[in-house]
Amino acid sequence: MMKLLRRLSIVLLILATVVLIGAWTCPAALAYRYFGDRIAPLKLHGLSGSVWHGHADSVEVLGQGLGVLDWRLRPSSLLEGAALAHVVLGGGDVIGNGTIEQTADRELLLHDVEVQMPARMAAPMIDIPALQLLGTIELRIAHARLRGYTIADAGGVAFWRNAGVSGAAQAQLSDLQFTFASATDGQISGTVQDLGGPLLASGAFSATALRYDARLKLAPRDNEQVAEALQFVGQPQPDGSRELLIEGRLLGL
Number of domains in the chain: 1
| Structural domain includes residue 58 | no
Whether the predicted pLDDT of 171 surpasses 90: yes
pLDDT at 209: 67
Distance CA 35, CA 158 (A): 33
Range of the domain at 151: 107-253
Distance CA 133, CA 238 (A): 27
Q: Which residues contact 86 (CB under 8 A, 6 or more apart)?
A: 71, 72, 74, 97, 98, 99
Q: Which residues contact 5 (CB under 8 A, 6 or more apart)?
A: none
- In contact, 144 and 107? CB cutoff 8 Å: no
pLDDT at 149: 63
| Structural domain includes residue 154 | yes
Whether the predicted pLDDT of 8 surpasses 50: no
Q: Is residue 81 very low, low, confident or very high in pLDDT (cuts 50, 70, 90)? A: low
Whether the predicted pLDDT of 63 surpasses 90: no
pLDDT at 152: 76
Give SS3 for 103.
coil
| Structural domain includes residue 102 | no
Give SS3 for 93.
coil
In tens, the pLDDT along 67-77 reads 888 888 887 66
| Structural domain includes residue 217 | yes
Question: Across all residues in the chain, what is the average pLDDT?
Answer: 81
| Structural domain includes residue 91 | no
In tens, the pLDDT along 115-154 reads 999 999 889 888 899 999 999 999 999 998 877 667 778 8
**Which one, of 151, 153, 121, 155, lies nearest residue 137 by Cα?**
121
Interval 150-179 mean pLDDT: 93
Give the C-alpha distances (Å, rounded to integers) separating 78 from 32, 74, 91, 103, 112: 16, 8, 29, 10, 21
pTM, rounded to two decimals = 0.81
Q: Is residue 244 very low, low, confident or very high in pLDDT (cuts 50, 70, 90)? A: very high
| Structural domain includes residue 174 | yes
Q: Which DSSP symbol is given to 29?
A: H
pLDDT at 80: 64
Q: Is residue 162 very low, low, confident or very high in pLDDT (cuts 50, 70, 90)? A: very high
Q: Is residue 103 very low, low, confident or very high in pLDDT (cuts 50, 70, 90)? A: confident
| Structural domain includes residue 236 | yes
| Structural domain includes residue 52 | no
